[in-house]
Amino acid sequence: MKDDKKPARRSQAWFGRDDRDGFVYRSWMKNQGHPHDLFDGRPIIGICNTWSELTPCNAHFRELADWVKRGVWEAGGFPLEFPVMSLGETQLRPTAMLFRNLASMDVEESIRGNPIDGVVLMMGCDKTTPSLMMGAASVDLPTIGLSGGPMLTGRFRGQKLGSGTGVWRMSEEVRAGTMTMEEFVEAESCMHRSKGHCMTMGTASSMACMVESLGMALPGNAAIPAVDARRFTLAQLTGRRIVDMVREDLRMSRILRREAFVNAIRTNAAIGGSTNAVIHLLALAGRIGVDLKLEDWDKLGSHLPCIVDLQPSGESLMEDFFYAGGLPVVLRELGEQGLLERDALTVNGHSVWDNVREAQCYDREVIRPWNQPLRAEAGIAVLRGNLAPDGAVIKPSAATPELLRHRGRAVVFENIEHFHERINDEVLDVDETCVLVLKNCGPRGYPGMAEVGNMPLPPKLLRKGVRDMVRISDARMSGTAYGTVVLHTAPEAAAGGPLALVRDGDMISLDVPARSVTLEISDEEMAARRAAWQPPTPPRRGWARLYVDHVLQANRGADLDFLVGGSGSEVARDSH
């Protein structure tokens, strides 16, 4: 049994032993029918699968994983699939974001604690992508991402219907009395008509684009529809490639360097991507040890145009984006403008520029030329002021241009329950010039920082034809949503941030071009209110209590303080 030529792979610390423990490790695996020669030192590939019937975006991952396995076998590897916590944005209460860090711990410890040489991350729904990336980064093995792909275009009465975006629009029409409830219900099956994640440029699609622009997935990963045969081809090629990555020892830390994050930030601007990418990339950078700050989003991307005409910023959907050439075309456009870190390494062993230099666009209505953008200066803007000392963000491409400079009277909601109690009240003292302010929906306050920042407007204003107002909160907003919405205000209200001190009738000034958001009260009044403020009661027990006690603020990625950084791939002690 002794073989001095066995490669010094990580898995051989389990399977390459000639003692009692080696017997145990191999013998128990053999109860699945694996022959002895599979333990001979070939790369063992973990397939980290977020399949769940409770996560509709990822419900096709069992089939997709089989194609990954084909590729692994073909390349001479040994694939072993394992489950991790799956976070379904549409079903999981109180919010999937509450469990992103928990899922990342599941991923990290599952990878570290098992005989794995390399990992394929299968991800799709919003929080599965960052949680898998974060967890894997803390271990730093050869790793490659595979997204599940977007759904096919929704169709309702001859019109395109985008997931999420259409819901927000139609629900406002129902509240305004311009759409019947029967029509609203009819649209349900028309919107989501195939397997896959949201087909708008929501958080799922944005994060798939982030993974590809970071260099952590094969070219084309972001946009191939979930039910297109080419998604299965990509899965098979991904399985092949991870085996070679193990042989090359191409780890995440060689790819996820600062230049990769620079490319991702600029890409997010060019695609009109989700504000959620800000929090997720800050957290991922913290895990891999890259110095990335909230200000980098403004400095690197805020002045860039949005060149992709996709909902919610535009009209098209991810299927159209794929047919137009997908993300490689966007990356090429960035590169031709000198805005791509061309030498950044990617998982296929080539530079990002080598991957995209020949990319062709087949529909200039969907992916616009650089000098004919959908929106100018459309990247994430970072705001500061006495209302957000540590920053807040806004997505100008989703906002009403006339509201980017605005001064209005605050209408304040102490929490989401208070909002629901008041917003439909016909006697609510509000008009279209007011600023809606929602407190206690940040990382600690909700807890979990739910996507409630794009507050529905009062029905009496909807009936007047009002479709947007300035809204400010410490919450997040779905990537499929739109509006002049200031988000991630830090410090949050539940941490004693200035947002906690806003009262009905206060005047608030928003000036996005000047990057400011200001509560117009004196320092003395602010101090007096702060002295009277009482922090909310924390959760009593369990994960929510641990989360609230250790979560960082939005400007630091809302990771847990003890998870920042990584612990590598070494297992602390032999269990036998």
CATH number for position 525: 3.50.30.80
308 plus 447 within the same structural domain: no
Residue 542 lies in a domain: no
Could you report the average pLDDT of every consecutive run of 10 residues in the chain (576 residues)?
63 95 96 96 97 96 98 98 95 95 98 98 96 98 98 90 86 89 90 93 95 98 98 98 98 98 98 95 98 97 95 92 98 98 98 98 98 91 97 91 97 97 96 98 97 94 95 92 94 98 98 97 96 95 97 98 93 64
242 plus 176 within the same structural domain: no
Task: Name the residue range of residue 99's domain.
Answer: 42-151+202-356
221 plus 87 within the same structural domain: yes
496 plus 450 within the same structural domain: yes
399 plus 495 within the same structural domain: yes
233 plus 319 within the same structural domain: yes
Residue 457 lies in a domain: yes
Kind and range of the H or E element at 67?
A: helix 61-74
Give the pLDDT confidence score for residue 1 in this predicted structure: 42
Instruction: Name the domain boundary from 321, 337, 356.
Output: 356
Give the pLDDT confidence score for residue 14 in this predicted structure: 96
Give the pLDDT confidence score for residue 172 in this predicted structure: 86
Residue 552 lies in a domain: no
Give the pLDDT confidence score for residue 2 in this predicted structure: 46
Distance CA 224, CA 231 (A): 6
How many angstroms separate the Cα of 478 from the Cα of each of 210, 294, 370, 518?
A: 16, 19, 27, 24
219 plus 322 within the same structural domain: yes
Contact in structure between 473 and 455 (CB atoms under 8 Å): yes
Give the pLDDT confidence score for residue 481 in this predicted structure: 80
Rg, C-alpha atoms of the chain? 24
145 plus 160 within the same structural domain: no
Distance CA 386, CA 330 (A): 37
147 plus 293 within the same structural domain: yes
Instruction: Name the domain boundary from 165, 191, 217.
Output: 191
343 plus 252 within the same structural domain: yes
Task: Give the residue from 331, 462, 467, 452 showing the smallest Cα distance to 398.
Answer: 467
Q: How many domains in the chain?
A: 3
129 plus 186 within the same structural domain: no
Residue 558 lies in a domain: no
387 plus 506 within the same structural domain: yes
> 81 is written with which tokens?
């699939």
Give the pLDDT confidence score for residue 6 in this predicted structure: 55
Kind and range of the H or E element at 328?
A: helix 327-336
